[in-house]
């Protein structure tokens, strides 16, 4: 079996009104990974997913889905994909069971009641199978959308903003469900503008901004590479200003001058720190507590997309 789920080269999309939503995307996504496409609103996430799924026609470039060109070999490419779109829409009066089976039929797959039963059980929907969709809670409706997307046994599942506007509890349960899906061998590609979601879920993260992939890294490498460390000194006496001869250090005051914050690169040598400590002692600035912390993915994200 092919090792690559998605292979994109030189992808551009300019909409009819002349707006360039994708400005040259190259990306490879491996089978079995959870890949998060992280970016602010309007970055091009939905456009990219729609291009992969064949809903949006690229202006240039090539997309392979499990080795199938998504234009020349559209049917094979599309069959390998399950898509949960950003806008949830489904027939409110149908039952869960009928909706999911019908979706499978749309892909020309023969009925398979055992598979659908297992799928609904996995998504904790089995006891709701005869319920009309309009009677379900928001979280259940979202899971029905996932069940629909997986009804034809695709290799790749796309989730476009799966938890936008969803409360924290529901979001966490979604994350657990998605992780459980990964264990069944499905490759998962999700878009999000929640950094916490990418941090929590993804093996690899692609940061997209203004139609370009700014960076693509494993989550751990991203944090290591871009990460900053901070040392926070809680002071015995508050400081009014940072002494002018300490301007070389990236220092800032916080908490009404009760805290002095030193920011440095995670891969930097410790020398500066001992120099700084020396300097503080000379000035009789005495910390009562020192705390060090690593910048979050959030800090990194803000640094990258402004
Ligand atoms: N059909 C369209 N015609 C013109 N511009 C569009 C169309 N669809 C999306 N856009 C624009 O393309 C940009 C990217 O949109 P989208 O891919 O939906 O971003 P995201 O999903 O990251 O929020 C936005 O500025 C949006 O307004
Ligand atoms: Mg979107």
Given this model, what pLDDT does residue 193 score? 86
Cα(255)–Cα(238) distance, rounded to whole angstroms?
9
Cα(167)–Cα(174) distance, rounded to whole angstroms?
11
Between the CA of 112 and the centroid of ligand 2 the distance, in Å, is: 33
CA dihedral 28, 33, 38, 43 (to 10 degrees): 40
Between the CA of 16 and the centroid of ligand 2 the distance, in Å, is: 18
Measured from the CB, is residue 39 less than 6 Å from ligand 1? yes
Measured from the CB, is residue 44 less than 6 Å from ligand 1? yes
Cα(65)–Cα(72) distance, rounded to whole angstroms?
11
Residues 6+ apart with CB under 8 A from 132: 92, 93, 94, 95
Pairing of strands 228-235, 259-265: antiparallel
For residue 103, pLDDT over 80 is answered with: yes
Given this model, what pLDDT does residue 263 score? 83
Can you tell me which atom of ligand 1 is nearest the CA of 43?
A: 22
Can you tell me which atom of ligand 1 is nearest the CA of 48?
A: 17
Name the least confident of 68-77, 138-147, 293-302.
Answer: 293-302
For a pocket test of ligand 1, which of 47, 55, 193, 211 has the largest count of ligand atoms closer than 8 A to its C-beta?
A: 47
Given this model, what pLDDT does residue 84 score? 93
For residue 113, pLDDT over 90 is answered with: yes
Residues with CB under 5 A from ligand 2 (ion): 45-46, 86
Q: What is the pTM of this model?
A: 0.80
Given this model, what pLDDT does residue 1 score? 58
Q: Was domain 227-305 assigned CATH 1.10.3470?
A: no
Taking CA atoms only, the protein residue closest to ligand 1 atom 12 is 21
For residue 249, pLDDT over 80 is answered with: yes
* pLDDT tens digits for range 161-210: 998 878 888 888 889 989 989 999 999 999 998 888 888 899 999 999 99
Given this model, what pLDDT does residue 200 score? 87
How high does pLDDT run on average in the chain? 90
Residues 6+ apart with CB under 8 A from 199: 219, 296, 297
Between the CA of 160 and the centroid of ligand 2 the distance, in Å, is: 7
| CA-based radius of gyration for the chain | 24
- The ranges assigned to domains in the chain are 4-224, 227-305
For residue 115, pLDDT over 90 is answered with: yes
Fold of 4-224: Rossmann fold (3.40.50)
Given this model, what pLDDT does residue 92 score? 85
Between the CA of 275 and the centroid of ligand 1 the distance, in Å, is: 50
Cα(90)–Cα(152) distance, rounded to whole angstroms?
17
- 37-41, 50-54, 195-199: which has the highest mean pLDDT? 50-54
Helical packing angle, 168-183 and 138-150, nearest 10°: 20
pLDDT confidence of 136, banded at 50, 70, 90?
A: very high
Measured from the CB, is residue 93 less than 6 Å from ligand 1? no
Measured from the CB, is residue 202 less than 6 Å from ligand 1? no
Given this model, what pLDDT does residue 267 score? 61
Contact 156/189 with Cβ under 8 angstroms?
Answer: yes
Measured from the CB, is residue 42 less than 6 Å from ligand 1? yes
For residue 269, pLDDT over 70 is answered with: no
């Amino acid at each position: 079996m092919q090792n690559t789920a998605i292979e994109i080269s030189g992808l551009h999309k300019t909409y009819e009104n002349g707006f360039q939503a994708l400005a040259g995307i190259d990306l490879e996504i491996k089978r079995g990974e959870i890949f998060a496409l992280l970016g602010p609103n309007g970055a091009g996430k939905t456009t990219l997913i729609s291009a992969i799924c064949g809903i949006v026609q690229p202006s240039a470039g090539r997309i392979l889905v499990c080795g199938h060109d998504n234009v020349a070999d559209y049917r094979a490419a599309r069959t390998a994909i399950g898509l949960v779109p950003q806008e949830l829409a489904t027939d409110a009066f149908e039952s869960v069971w009928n909706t999911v089976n019908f979706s499978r039929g749309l892909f020309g797959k023969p009925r398979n009641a055992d598979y659908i039963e297992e799928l609904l059980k996995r998504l904790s929907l089995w006891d709701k199978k005869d319920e009309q969709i309009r009677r379900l809670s928001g979280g259940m409706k979202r899971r029905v959308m996932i069940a629909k997307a997986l009804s034809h046994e695709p290799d790749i599942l796309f989730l476009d903003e799966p938890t936008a506007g969803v409360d924290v509890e529901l979001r966490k349960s979604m994350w657990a469900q998605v992780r459980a899906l990964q264990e069944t061998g499905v490759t998962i590609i999700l878009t999000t503008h929640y950094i916490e979601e990418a941090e929590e879920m993804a093996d690899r993260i692609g940061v997209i901004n203004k139609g370009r992939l700014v960076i693509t890294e494993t989550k751990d490498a991203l944090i290591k590479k871009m990460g900053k460390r901070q040392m926070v000194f809680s002071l015995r006496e508050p400081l009014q200003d940072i002494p002018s001869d300490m301007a070389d250090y990236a220092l800032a005051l916080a908490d009404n001058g009760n805290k002095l914050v030193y920011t440095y690169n995670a891969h930097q040598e410790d020398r500066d720190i001992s120099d700084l400590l020396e300097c503080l002692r000379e000035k009789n600035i005495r910390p009562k507590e020192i705390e060090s912390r690593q910048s979050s993915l959030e800090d990194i994200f803000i640094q990258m997309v402004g």
